[in-house]
Structure 1
């Protein structure tokens, strides 16, 4: 069952569309699609490229491995995005002083300016996207998301280490 705009339950035509993973993916896809329209127009960058730029600004000197972990972007795609940010002079790359096989990534002043401007645009868009929710609903929504993410990460960590511990335990 899905919830209509009026808040009433309705039967979906497709059983798969009732799965939480599908519904979350739909929400994410629509939010990113809308954000990309604005970010591409304003900065000629998309959400993922700005995510990478923000991560570099938040952790100057980060390596690609660190970025991959923090941005959740696949290695090959991340490499292309970093190269594009370097070409645009938003990021500079420097050989890691402890390991010449790795690069450290640093924001340029132009990259920091783009990040700052895009943050303001992003915050405004997020406020508009969530404007249908009351302040209490927004807090609860964030709390629930944080709780689910923490539990899923905890379960995944225990599955990797072979320790008992599953989601919901």
Structure 2
């Protein structure tokens, strides 16, 4: 009965897609989807802070710390002390990280295309529009909830 719920179906799709992607990424780069997700964000937003990475990737800070350490150890990213607040670090891609980012994006696009091959081009475009719409709605809702929770009890 639970398989009638959208959340279950989405979780099943996500789990299978990540599982297949992990096999390909580990073989090609010895990295998994989470490490690549973090690397990609750092490459897209050089100088980003760990807090922003956590917020945007939805990865809990303790796990993120381990992922960042692994990327630093592999010399795919580097960190510098934030110039405005020494309690924070800025995260930067290295040349090797940038190469992995570009190469893995090409592989990722191919993997996604193959995994969604059961859908027609029109259906994939519709799926993109629908998921973008839902993501935006949930982000707006979260922003409103955050705003309301910060002002709760304030007269």
Q: TM-score, normalised by structure 1?
A: 0.85
Which of these residues, 29, 37, 54, is aligned with residue 40 of structure 2?
54
Which residues in structure 2 correspond to 1:1-169 (within 5 Å)?
15-162=1-148
Distance 2:116 2:107 in 1: 14
Q: Cα 1:38–1:149, aligned 2, differ >3 Å: closer, same or farther? A: same
Q: Which has the higher contact order (CA 8 A, sep 6+)?
A: 2
Instruction: Report the number of matched residues.
Output: 149
| Deviation of 1:154 (Å) | 2.0
Out of 64-73 and 78-87, give the one that drifted further.
64-73
Distance 1:69 1:159 in 2: 15
| Deviation of 1:151 (Å) | 1.6
Distance 1:110 1:79 in 2: 20
Distance 1:31 1:117 in 2: 19
Q: TM-score, normalised by structure 2?
A: 0.92
| Deviation of 1:33 (Å) | 0.2
Q: Cα 1:103–1:159, aligned 2, differ >3 Å: closer, same or farther? A: closer
Distance 1:156 1:106 in 2: 28
Distance 1:150 1:58 in 2: 20
The CA RMSD measured in Å over matched residues stands at: 1.3
Structure with more helix by fraction: 2
Distance 2:88 2:46 in 1: 14
Q: Deviations over 1:60-119 (max 9, x none)?
A: 111101111111111011110001000000001111111111111110000000111111
